[in-house]
Amino acid sequence: MKGKEERKELLKWLIKRVLLVIPVTCILLWIYAVCQTSSIKDQTKIGVTYMTMNNEFYKSIHSEISRIADERGALVYVRDPELDEKRQSQQIDDFCAQKVNVIVINPVKGDSQPILRALKKARKQGIKIIAVDTQLKHFKPDASIVSDNYQAGVLIAKELMKRSSNARILLLEHKGTVSADTRIQGFKDTIKGHGSYQIISELETKGQTEIAMPAVRKFLQSGGNVDTLVALNDRSAIGALAAIKEQGITHPIAIYGIDGSPDMKALLHSTDDVVGTVAQSPLKMGDRVMEVIQDMADGKSYQKEITIPVQMMTKENIDQFDVNGWQ
C-alpha cells in the first residue's frame, strides 16, 4: 500500500510540474514570436533600380550597398530596367506594392514623366527616395549622392588644353541623363571662348560600348575627321577605341573617358591607346547611400546632397592608383 501511495504522490508531483512548465513554455514561445515579428517588421526594406546593370560601375555601387545591407540585416530588392524608362516606372510601382522603406534610383531619364509620376506615388506612401549617380529634374529626392560631374568635364577640358593648343573634337553623349549632360556641359563651358578647340560632332551612345562602337564606326566611314574624342563614360570610350582600331585609323586620336574603370586604367597603364579618364568612386557612393539609409532608419538627420570629388587619371599618374579594381 505504501508503494502505491508513493506512486500516486509522484504522479501528482509530475502533473504539477508539467502544468507549471506548459504556461512558462507558452510564455517563452509568445515572447519569441513577438521578437521575431518585431524583427521582421523593423527590417529595413530597400528597393534599388539602376538605369542598366550592363555597366560594371553600377554593379560596383550595388555590391557595396548589398554588402553593407547584409551586415545590417536589411533586405534589398534590385531591378534592371535596361535603359527603359517605362520599365523603371513599373519597378518603382512594384517597390510600392512590396512596401519598401527606401527607393534608391539611378534614373534612366532625369525628366521622365512615367518615372516622376511613380516616384510621387511612392512619396505619398511615405517611402524615402535617394537618387544615386545622377539627379532627377523637377523632383527633389530626400537625398542625392552623385559625383562632381561638372568638374569631371572641366578636368578633361583642362587636360586637353594642357596637352594640345588646338583640337577637332568628337563628343560621345547620353542625352537626358543629368550626370552625362552635366559632364559634357562642364567640358563645353571650359573650352568656350577658345576657338582653336572645335566640336566637330556629337554622337548618342547611351553610355554603352555596343552602341558607341557602331556609332563611331559610321562617323569614321562617312569621312569624319577628328583628333580628340571625349566620352561621357569609359564604356563608350572603349567602344570608340574598338571602332578606331577596326577602321585602321593611322593618325592619333586622343581618347578621354570618365569613370576610372579597371579596363580604362589597364589601358592607361599598359598602352598608349587612351590619354586619360576622370575617376569616380562607386564604392564610396554605395557606402554613402547606406550611411544615409541608416540615418533615415534611426530617425537621425542626414546630409541631403552629397557630392563626391573626382580626379584626373593619366599615364603620368596611373601608378598612384590600384589598376585592378574600382576606387
pLDDT in tens, 157-207: 999 999 999 999 999 999 989 999 999 999 999 999 999 999 999 999 999
End-to-end Cα distance, the chain: 86
Is 149-281+314-320 in the same CATH topology as 42-146+283-307? Answer: yes
| 77-94 confidence digits (pLDDT tens) | 999 999 999 999 999 999
The whole-number average pLDDT for the span 98-106 is 97
Total residue count of the chain as it appears in this document = 327
**Which H/E stretch holds residue 225?**
none
Q: 102 has which bridge partners?
A: 46, 128
Confidence of residue 25 (pLDDT cuts 50, 70, 90): very low
Cβ contacts of 74 within 8 Å, gap of 6 or more: 43, 44, 45, 46, 293
Task: Decide if pLDDT at 39 tops 80.
Answer: no
The whole-number average pLDDT for the span 53-82 is 95
Edge-to-edge strands, sheet with 45-49? 75-79, 45-49, 102-105, 128-132, 143-147, 305-308
> What pLDDT is attached to residue 3?
52
Cβ contacts of 228 within 8 Å, gap of 6 or more: 160, 164, 167, 168, 169, 170, 253, 254, 256
The domain segmentation of the chain, as residue ranges, is 42-146+283-307, 149-281+314-320
CATH superfamily of the domain spanning 149-281+314-320: Response regulator (3.40.50.2300)
Cβ contacts of 231 within 8 Å, gap of 6 or more: 171, 172, 205, 212, 237, 240, 255, 256, 257, 258
Fold of 42-146+283-307: Rossmann fold (3.40.50)
